[in-house]
Amino acid sequence: MFKNHGYKVLLIDGDVENPNTYLLLGGKLKNEVAVPFFRPKIIKEECTKCGICAENCTAHALLYVKDSYPIPMLAVCSGCKLCYKICPVNAIEEDYNVIGWTYKTKINKISLMVGELKPSEARSAAIIESLFEDLDYIIKENPNKYDIIILDTAPGAHCDVELLIKRADIVIPVTEPTKFGMMDLIRIIDLITLLGKKYKVIVNRSSLLGFKEEFLKELENKKIDILGDIPLDNEILASYCQGVPIMDEKSKYSINGAGYIAFQQIFENLLKWMDNL
Amino acid sequence: MERKIVGIISGKGGVGKTSLTASLAHLASKDYNINPIILDCDVDAPNLAIILPAASQDEIQTKDVFTTLKASFLEDKCVHCKQCIDDHFCEFNSLSWDEENEIPIIEYLACEGCGACKVLCSEHAFKIEPVKSGEIISYTSKMEFPLVYGKTKLGSTTSGKLVSDVKQFAKDLKEFSNCNLVLIDGPPGIGCPVIATVSGLDYIITITEPTPSGLHDLIRAIEVIEQFNLPFGIIVNKYDIVSDFRKKFETFIKNTGYDILGKIPFDLSIPEAMSFAKPVVEYAPESKASISIFEIFARLKSILWIN
């Protein structure tokens, strides 16, 4: 919708465990760049088997038995490089593993940056850091290249989500009017508040009625602002499956449909909110 | 029967992990041959406890967990040499320089507790200490099985470790010796909390839905499972939603030869059961969804203990 209104939009998909935005926009990933991650490489010719590296590794990522070479356990390595820095005989070299990729592409006039974690790798936060490095570079080159940058996060409240929230000016948690939704919403709002950011909530599947009254009352008690509602709507699901956003010109979605009207309203509310920042 | 540890994961969030876990837990507790322990390892957003509440509030036990390490700064030892910044002690960018006071500032949330600053500072002006990373909550549920879940302290950046702690906590319960089924509600995604959840399991259920992102995320979850070489079965939730993509999804699964543990139809009795905070098999045992979950449970039992 920002694009439809003439904004220059950059979408960063920071759900690196499962990046999906390109599927929903009906595009393909391009311009793959590998994300390297430090791993220690032991130079046996230099190593004196002293064990200082292993002794100081808080992640216990170096397995050391007296009088033998330390063995790096890459799965638990935090990448702090302390072993490399403290080895008294410089027997540890910086080596790198690929833990994922970043992509840059343009789909239907929306610039897209996507991070992807390699399955079975755990260091997802490093992929997000890599996206941010690219972003910093872009902004430095041309601060006005984009009017709006949208960051899509992973579900949950772990380090990846935290990194992305930290970077944002305003945050939009999406929830649903169920007990689960309520509980997870409170968690994410606590995190947003801890990081000192402003937020307004979108209530998805707002036509689920069972718990809704209680849910809305709870939001009111906690003085949580609602940015908008999205009702359950088969046409939203259909557009999701086709990879054509319902607000796209190519979508066959009816402009009188409940979902379309809901998105329109959310967009207006968001513009108003952004104007008042 | 031999003890089996089963995890329920999904690449994608919001596809029904917790609803399914609650229903399977309910069925397991009604089965005379099974003594289950139920874990919620979605430590960033645990909510299994809402559907499987404690028999009594007094029984709920909370234990603080201190597995996260964080650096702190000892100002009296600092000689203001700025070496920590100039030599880039911290790989996680959690050290910055306070020009006015000429001391380093530690950004608490960014700190990984690796101890590099502590070891590298010649004046020993940093120390590393364990801080509270979360809680482990345990109780006996209304359905009479022990339930254990973890909840991270926000900003502690250690979800994976807390998952391992929850699993260890369950193994130390007195009920564990007699237990023959550990059922784990896992976190979404494929990152470190998921890897911590699936390690050491006997069987994994991966649940998805027939949408493009559902399929995409399923494939990624399976890649992780296969790295660990663990047996798994797929559950397709809302398998009958009408979409152009459904055929593509079905063909894909068929061609891979992956085991489908079961299919759950789109059925409003599931969100309804959720709004009453009950497992669907308890709330609406006659519903289409419940019948499919009975079948899934029967198949799961035969996979775990007969084959």
Tell me how close the Cα of B296 comes to any Cα of chain A, in angstroms: 24
**Among the three residues A98, A117, A148, which one is the final residue of a domain in this structure?**
A98
- Rounded CA-CA distance A120/A159 in Å is 17
Selected for mutation to probe chain A from B43, B108, B112, B209 (highest A CB count within 10 Å) is B112
pLDDT reported for residue B83 = 96
Residues of chain B with pLDDT under 70: 157, 307
Report, as an integer, the average pLDDT of A199-218.
Answer: 91
In total, chain B counts a number of residues equal to: 307
The domain of B120 spans: 69-131
Same domain? For B263 and B195 the reply is yes
By C-alpha distance, the chain B residue nearest A154 is B189
Q: Are residues B146 and B169 in the same domain?
A: yes
- Distance (Å, whole) CA A69 – CA A50: 9
Residues with Cβ within 8 Å of B198's Cβ and at least 6 positions away in sequence, in order, are B7, B9, B186, B204, B224, B225, B228, B230
Instruction: Say if residue A240 is in the same domain as residue A172.
Output: yes
Planar angle of CA B50, B195, B236, nearest 5 degrees: 60
Residue A78's pLDDT band (boundaries 50, 70, 90)? Answer: confident
Q: How many domains does chain B have?
A: 2
Flag if A122 and B187 touch (Cβ within 8 Å).
no
| Pair A25, A110: CB distance under 8 Å | yes
Q: What is the pLDDT of residue B119?
A: 95
- A242: number of Cβ within 10 Å: 18
Q: Would you call A156 and B275 a contact, using CB atoms and an 8 Å cutoff?
A: no
| Interchain contact A211–B (C-beta under 8 A) | yes
Note whether A51 and A113 are same-domain residues: no
Task: Say yes or no: B77 and B210 in one domain.
Answer: no
Q: Are residues A229 and A252 in the same domain?
A: yes
Instruction: Kindly state the tokens that stand for B75.
Output: 């100002």
Please check whether residue B292 is in contact with residue B31, taking contact to mean a CB–CB distance below 8 angstroms: no
Residues 6+ apart with CB under 8 A from A115: A12, A13, A14, A16, A19, A35, A100, A101, A102, A127, A128, A130, A131
Residue A197 resides in a domain: yes
Give me the domain span that covers residue A77: 37-98
Cβ separation of B69 and A58 shorter than 8 Å? yes
Whether A257 contacts chain B with CB within 8 A = no
**For range A62-71, the mean pLDDT:** 92
At which of B112, B131, B150 does a domain end? B131
Last residue of a domain, one of B131, B165, B182: B131
Are the beta carbons of B11 and A117 separated by less than 8 Å? no
Using a CB–CB cutoff of 8 Å, tell me whether A28 touches chain B.
no
Q: How far is B304 from chain A (nearest CA, A)?
A: 25
Give a yes or no: residue A4 inside a domain.
no
B31 and B143 together in one domain: yes
Check which CATH number belongs to the domain holding A93 and give it.
3.30.70.20
If asked whether residues A151 and A21 sit together in one domain, one would say yes
The pTM assigned to this predicted structure is 0.88
A247 and A113: one domain?
Answer: yes
Within an 8 Å CB–CB cutoff, is residue A124 touching chain B?
Answer: yes
Please list, residue by residue across A23-43, b when 16 or more beta carbons sit within 10 angstroms of its beta carbon and e when fewer do.
Answer: bbbbbebeeeeebebbbbebe
Residues A176 and A217 in one domain: yes
Q: What is the CATH number of the domain that holds A22?
A: 3.40.50.300
Same domain, B29 and B118: no
- Check CB contact of A78 with chain B, cutoff 8 Å: yes
Return the closest-CA partner of residue B213 out of A139, A13, A106.
Answer: A13
Of B50, B112, B160, the CB nearest to A80: B112
B278 and B209 in a common domain: yes
Which of B114, B159, B213 minimises the CB distance to A20? Answer: B213
CATH code, domain with B115: 3.30.70.20
Pair type for strands A9-13 and A33-42? unpaired
* Same domain, yes or no: B103 and B210: no
How many structural domains does chain A have?
2
Residues B276-296: b if buried by 16+ CB within 10 A, e if exposed: ebbbbbbbbeebebbebbeeb
Cβ atoms of A208 and A232 within 8 Å: the answer is: yes
Taking CA atoms, B299 is separated from B38, B234, B265, in Å, by 19, 12, 17
Contact yes or no for B45 and A183 at CB 8 A: yes
Question: How large is the average pLDDT for residues A168-193?
Answer: 93
Instruction: Test A86 with B120 for CB contact under 8 angstroms.
Output: yes
Q: Could you tell me if residue A251 is inside a domain?
A: yes
User: Average pLDDT, stretch A75-85?
Assistant: 90
Residue A55: what pLDDT? Answer: 93
A3: in domain: no
Mean pLDDT, to the nearest integer, of A52-63? 92
A138 lies in the same domain as A180 = yes
Closest residue in chain B to residue A213, using alpha carbons only: B275
Give the residue from A98, A127, A142 where a domain finishes: A98
State whether A164 and A210 are in the same domain.
Answer: yes
ipTM: 0.83
Verify that A26 and A42 share a domain, yes or no: no
> Residue B15: which residues within 8 A CB-CB, separation 6 or more?
B207, B208, B209, B214, B237
Burial of A60 (0-12, 13-18, 19+ CB in 10 A): exposed
What confidence tens digit (pLDDT) does each residue in A93-135 have? 999 999 999 999 999 899 999 999 999 888 888 999 999 999 9
Same domain? B123 vs B142 = no
State residue A239's pLDDT score: 81
**Does B219 share its domain with B168?**
yes
Which chain A residues touch B115 with a CB distance below 8 Å? 56, 58, 80, 82
Q: Write phi, then psi, for A9 (nearest 5 degrees).
A: -110, 135
Check whether residue A121 and residue A92 sit in a common domain. no
**pLDDT confidence of residue B156:** 73
Q: Both B108 and B210 in a single domain?
A: no
pLDDT of residue A256: 82
Q: How does pLDDT run across A233-268, given as a tens digit for each residue? A: 878 877 887 778 888 877 777 788 888 899 999 999
Q: A91 and A195: one domain?
A: no
Is the C-alpha dihedral spanning B24, B30, B36, B41 positive or negative? positive
Cross-chain CB nearest to B112 (options A78, A179, A184) = A78
For B35, phi then psi, to 5°, come to -110, 95
Distance of CA B114 to the CA centre of its chain: 24
DSSP class of A83 = H
Boundary (domain end) residue, out of B110, B131, B152: B131
| 3-class DSSP state of B88 | coil
Mark whether B301 and B180 lie in a shared domain: yes
Give burial (CB, 10 Å; 0-12/13-18/19+) of B72.
middle
Which pLDDT score, from 0 to 100, does residue A145 have? Answer: 93
Within its chain, how far is the Cα of A267 from the centroid?
Answer: 21
CATH code of the domain covering residue B147: 3.40.50.300
Among A79, A120, A122, whose Cβ lies nearest the Cβ of B223? A120
Chain B partners of A164 at a C-beta cutoff of 8 Å? none
Q: Which of B68, B129, B154 to mutate to test the interface with A (most CBs of A within 10 A)?
A: B154
State residue B245's pLDDT score. 84
pLDDT above 80: residue A89: yes
Q: Which residues pair with A97 in a beta bridge?
A: A37
| Residue-wise pLDDT tens digits, A21-40 | 998 888 899 999 999 999 99
Cα of B55 to nearest chain A Cα, Å: 19
Q: How far is CA A113 from the centre of its chain?
A: 11
**In this structure, are B141 and B172 located in the same domain?**
yes
